[in-house]
Each structure stands twice: as structure tokens, then as C-alpha cells.
Structure 1
């Protein structure tokens, strides 16, 4: 009797899984065949980009272009300490965190910054890094041309 209950349970779970998979496929096709899907997606990405610009965060370079990344990194590293010396701590942290986020060896850069920055500024910088990692991963996501 236990064997038949086990088989019927497995059958019920398999059926539920198949129904769920069918549900997902149906609505994914329905979503993708919607004529306004691509335009809504473009609008959402445009809005996210505008929100980032409004937040005052520096615009990230094309991460596939090493020269642009290097130029961006050097500019941000130079601006950070200058702003810190002039008392603009928030701007300093913004620029330094952007530099750390595109740096090829962020741990070594953080060690250098730990020795040169005041502790409160370093704490702000370390607190801001997780949000910038999300921003970087968003920048590396699919471009509009990749959408089908």
C-alpha cells in the first residue's frame, strides 16, 4: 500500500511540475509576443539610466573598452582625494567607489585607500560598494540590441 501512495505522490508532483512549466512557457510567449514589450523595456531602461544620472553618480564607461575604463578610473581616482580635501565627503566617496568598482584589483586599491583616507570616509566608501556592484552588474546586462 505504501508503494502505491508513493507512486501516486510522485505522479502528482510530476503533474504539478509539468503544469507549472506549461504555465511559465505560455505566459513567456504571451509577454514576448506583446507588440509593446520592447518599447516598455526600452522605457524602463531609459528611466533607470535617468534615475542614476539624477542620483549624481558618475556615468560608467563602456566596460568592454579597456582604454575608456582606464581613463575613467584615473579621473575618478584623481577627483576623489581632491574632493575629500575640500570637504565634499559625499562626492569624494561617490568618485572613489566608482573607481573601486571598475578597478581590476579592487582589494589592493582598498588597501591603499585604507592607508590614505580618514576612517569615516573609508567607512562610507565600504558601505557604498555593495550598491555599486549592483550598478555595475546592471551595466553589464543585455543591451537593447540583444533583445529579441
Structure 2
């Protein structure tokens, strides 16, 4: 076996380091010279901020029955309070969260249809798909939320 001298290893490591830094500088320059870079970055940040605001309520662990029950009751109460206070969109969002974790959503929707004004019930029906998607994303895990285009 031949021994490689420390000087040769140092030179090889230095060359690898220079190549890596050069690679980073080249692609950073290429990325920044893109005329739409800032616009795309702003849109990506705006979308992330919007999803962060809309997903303010943390859904419970769906395997824990007691946590789901507590969450359901809390969301129904909060939704009713917000609707009574005049905050229709926030109230509808909390009621949609309750429907999404409910064991019998059809029966709950029938009760809500009878107790809510038609326009509020219509908003509730419109918000259900978004809540369902959020539940699927949460149950899929944190790795599914990371996109390939989030690298800067």
C-alpha cells in the first residue's frame, strides 16, 4: 500500500473546496440574474404566508379519540361564538374543522343546514374541500409539505 502524503491530501481537499464554492457562486449568480426571480420569490413567500394564516388551527391526532372529541366540541363552540359575534368567515372555518373530524358528517351537515342561514351554510360547504386537503396534508407528514422549488 502506498501512503498518500498529507500535502497531496491537502491540495486535493483545497481543489474540491474551490470547485464547490465556484459551483455555488455560479448557480447563485444564474438564479439572481433571472428577471423573474424576485417576482417568483415574492409569490412563493406570499403563498406560504397565506397557507400559514389559513392553517392557524392545529388538527388533533386522528388516532386519539378523546383528542378528536375535545377538538370537535371546541371547534363547534368557537364557530358558533364567532358567527354570533359577526365574524362569518372565521366561524365557518371552525365549523368546517368540526365537520372534517366528525364521525357522522352527513348528520352534522343536516343539523347545520337547518340552523344556519343559507348563505353561511353555502360558505361552509365551499370551505370543506380545503379543510379536507389540509387534513390529508397533515396526516401525510411534514415531509410532504416541502416542495422542490423551495430551495433558494
Same-fold call, TM cutoff 0.5: yes
Distance, in Å, in 2 between the alignment partners of 1:102 and 1:93 is 15
Greater C-alpha Rg:
2
Relative contact order higher in (CA < 8 Å, ≥ 6 apart): 1
Shift of 1:62: 1.1
Equivalent positions of 1:51-90 (< 5 A) are: 52-55=51-54, 57-90=56-89
Give the equivalent residue in structure 2 for 1:102: 101
Q: Distance in 1 between matches of 2:110 and 2:79?
A: 16
Please report the TM-score for the alignment, with normalisation by the length of structure 1: 0.59
> In 2, are the aligned partners of 1:53 and 1:59 still within 8 Å (CA)?
no
Equivalent pairs counted in the alignment come to: 97
Q: CA RMSD in A?
A: 2.1
Query: Aligned in 2, Cα 1:134/1:49: closer, same or farther, shift over 3 Å?
Result: same
Measured in 1, the distance between the counterparts of 2:48 and 2:88 equals: 24
How far does residue 79 in structure 1 lie from its aligned partner after superposition? 1.1
**Structure 1 residue 50 displacement after superposition:** 7.3
Match of 1:124 in 2: 123
Corresponding residue SS for 1:140: helix
Q: CA deviation at 1:56?
A: 5.3
**Structure 2 CA distance for partners of 1:58 and 1:143, relative to 1, 3 Å:** closer
| Segments of 4+ moved more than 6 angstroms | none
* Partner SS, residue 122 of structure 2: helix
For residues 51-75 of structure 1, the C-alpha deviation after alignment (integer angstroms, 9 at most, x for no partner) is: 6442254111111111111100000
